[in-house]
Amino acid sequence: MTDLTRRDLLGLGIGLAGSALLPAPGAAQQKPATGTAGTPRRGGSLIVLVQNDWTVLDPVFGGPPNGMEMIYDRWIRWEKDPKTGQWGPRPQMVAEWDLRAGTEVVLKLQRGIKFHDGTPWDAAAAKWNLDRMIFDPASRMRAYFGSVDTSRENAAELERLKQSAAQTFDYASKAVEVFDSYTVKLHLRAPNAPILSVLSPVVNYSYPVSPTAYRKLGKAAFNRSPVGAGPFRFVEWKSGSHVLLRRNPDYWQMGADDKPLPYLDEIRYRLVIDDSVRFLELRSGTAHFTELIQAKDAPTAKSDPQLVYLESQDSANAYRLTFDAANAASPFVREPALRLAFLHALDREAMARILGLGAGASLRYLLPKGSFAYDDSVPSHGHDRARAQTLVKQAVAANPSLAGPDGRVAVTLSVPERPVDKAVAEMIKQMADNVGFDVRIDALERAAMTSKVWGEKGQYHAAIMRNPVVAGDPDSQWSLFFHSKGFANVTHLREAAWDGLIDTARATTDTAKRKALYRQMAQRAYDQAWFGYLWQQNWNWVHARKVKNFVEPVADRWIFTEVWLE
């Protein structure tokens, strides 16, 4: 399966019960904790190496993060509680929130914040940003606001927006209401438990931008000259080369020395596509930070006294297996037992050990361990070669047309044209061939893979996909992959039962109820066996030892606000 970019599929995590209520007022104003990192030093230029080129710098229209999280500030932070180990929302540009009304989300804004062009952060700016996220036809956020109550909107105006190639955005919705100067209300059709995570960096498109700048510059120009409220101001973007940011002297948060953050003078994000070259740059000292070095380089990074290697247990790239429910000719559709056989043939521990090189773990379920709905009492398709062989034999005996002249069931495994994915495919082939399948590996480049697997009509038998996962709200994972409107529903399952379960779980804030519903989903997924879990490569970050106070972020949302250089 196509590597759905990291930003697309990060779990919408939320520590649900606590997050529905108001957090402590003024929490966002607290001084940052430096822990054992030492005394902050001001100044310096941080060189960050990125591997994905920039296409947009306006977050609502997509693109890899790569600096956007520093140009723009966040509605809500997403951080790990060191005591509980759970990830959840923390106040940032939104100081307090209230979800207790169910279909009404009340957001009280942090005061004293300004965008880089001086535009105040207030309810008007917040409303404009929410309206743009929800109603701009090209907004990547629309899919995440499906529960917004649009019944009172001006349909003609929305249609006009859709048809015009507008360079600005000027629609004022009824769904987003300005309550007072620093309070907005978002009206929903139904309660939506994960709504706060949508406003966090877990979803990469949600950073607020300056409405003044957007209106003045227009869509295209704003994309090249973004204006946010973040700790760093945009300076320069050279296509295919770098993005340069300089500190925002008027940032609202204070450092440990009672002066405004950030500590750094500037950040230069440099594009270096090749994994090996990025790592070499770090080792040579010409750069300070990167992420996702190859597993084979991890031992070197760990042993290098000039480098610090961080590995996450909560963020990972998960490798999964899907079957196409819409392909009537597929042996996996004609005989469900073959799906079970295929899944039981796979030794996930071996995959994690051999391919992860010490930075991998086997997967049994859709949800990662840090999720509140993770439940290991649900059965999983473990490695059982004997059972797999029996299932194949029985299936072929009952329906000889499933097998070829050699008695083996011929299937195609579609895989992205990437080294690790192909290695996964080779291992799967070997394991599946041993139980009676004849697997043909079909390695496809990105566009071909996307069309084949994501296309409207199913065209594949089985496919490998790699997606980022973060411990958090289960809704994101289940709705993305199993809801009929989920954009990652590559099994092409369109079942009312699935939609019902997912919508019900999303609409309640009762944690126990949600957990029970997600257990039902996990059991259903196991019974239907359209989706398989293989192994994950834990997310990693590597930085120079002189970089201080870098805290594990949500995958690739690097936060350097409180980082300094020694």
Partner 1 sequence: MATYVAHRLVQIVPVLLLVTMISFALMFVLPGDPALLILGDQVADREAYETLRTRLQLDRPLPLQYAAWLGKAVRGDLGTSTRDDSPVAGGIAERLPVTLELSALALLFAVSLALPAGIVSAVRPNSRVDVCCSVLSLGGAAVPHFWLGILLIYALGVATRLLPISGYVPFREDPLGNLTHMMMPATALGLGIAAILMRQVRSSLLEALGEDYVVTARAKGLSTAVVIARHALRNALIPVVTVLGLQVGRLFGGAVITETIFSLPGLGRWAVDSILWRDFSVVQAVCLVMALGVLLSNLAADLAYAWIDPRIRYRA
Given 357, 441, 448, 551, the residue binding partner 1 (CB under 8 A):
448
Told to check if 421 binds partner 1 by CB under 8 A, we report no
Look up residue 266 and give its two tokens: 């500037």
Give CA torsion, residues 153, 159, 160, 162, to 10 deg: 110
Stretch that binds partner 1, among 265-273, 361-369, 378-386, 519-527 (CB under 8 A): 265-273
For position 272 contacting partner 1 by CB under 8 A, the verdict is yes
Other C-beta atoms closer than 10 Å to the C-beta of 258 total: 7
Taking CB under 8 A as the rule, does residue 236 contact partner 1? Answer: no
SS (HEC) of 390-445 = HHHHHHHHHCHHHCCCCCCEEEEEEEECCHHHHHHHHHHHHHHHCCCEEEEEEEEC
Whether the CB-CB separation of 391 and 436 falls below 8 Å is answered with no
Classified as helix, coil or strand, 335 is coil
| Residue 513 sits in the site that holds partner 1 (CB under 8 A) | no
Q: Supply the minimum distance, in Å, between the C-beta of residue 482 and partner 1.
A: 12
192 neighbors 148 (Cβ within 8 angstroms)? no
Shortest Cβ 183–partner 1 spacing (Å): 30
62 binds partner 1 (CB under 8 A): yes
Q: What's the closest the beta carbon of residue 56 comes to partner 1, in angstroms? A: 6
In this chain, which stretch among 115-123, 233-241, 384-392, 508-516 interacts with partner 1, using CB under 8 A? 233-241
Please say which residue, 53 or 170, places its beta carbon nearer to partner 1.
53
Nearest to 413 by CA among 372, 451, 462, 350: 462
Rg from Cα positions in the chain: 24
∠ at Cα 169 (143, 105), nearest 5°?
A: 50
Q: At what angle do helices 419-433 and 348-356 cross, to 10 degrees?
A: 150
| Residues 146-175, mask of contacts with partner 1 (x by CB under 8 A) | ----------------x--x----------
Among 189, 283, 383, 393, binds partner 1 (CB under 8 A): 283
106 or 272, CB closer to partner 1? 272
Cα–Cα distance, 544 to 305 (Å, whole number): 9
User: Residues 524-563: x/- map of binding to partner 1 (CB under 8 A)?
Assistant: ----------------------------------------
Amino acid occupying residue 11: G
Residue whose CB is less far from partner 1, 111 or 238: 238
Identified binder of partner 1 from the candidate list 486, 507, 535, 544, rule CB under 8 A: 486
The one segment of 104-112, 295-303, 445-453, 546-554 that binds partner 1 by CB under 8 A: 445-453
**Hunting for tokens 């997924």 — which residue is that?**
525
CB nearer to partner 1: give 51 or 520: 51
Nearer to partner 1 by Cβ, of 15 and 458: the residue is 458
Structure tokens at 220: 């295209």
CA distance 146 to 188: 9
Query: How many residues of this chain bind partner 1 (CB under 8 A)?
Result: 51
Q: What one-letter code names the amino acid at 558? A: W
DSSP per-residue string spanning 15-36: -HHHHTSPPPTTGGGSPPP-GG
According to the binding rule CB under 8 A, does residue 218 interact with partner 1? no
Using CB under 8 A, pick the residue from 451, 497, 516, 527 that binds partner 1.
451
Q: Which of 171, 193, 135 is nearest to 16 (CA)?
A: 193
Distance CA 101, CA 91 (A): 19
**Dist. CA 384–CA 347, nearest whole Å:** 8
The correct pick among 274, 376, 527, 566 for binding partner 1 (CB under 8 A) is 274
Q: Under the criterion CB under 8 A, does residue 220 sit at the interface with partner 1? A: yes
Contact region for partner 1 (CB under 8 A) — 2-10, 114-122, 298-306, 544-552?
A: 2-10
Least distance in angstroms from the C-beta of 213 to partner 1: 18
Instruction: State how far Cα 508 lies from the chain centre.
Output: 23
Q: Can you give the binding site for partner 1, defined by CB under 8 A?
A: 4-5, 8-9, 53, 55-56, 62-63, 137, 140, 142-143, 162, 165, 220, 223, 238-242, 270-274, 276-277, 280-281, 283-286, 444-448, 450-452, 454-456, 485-489
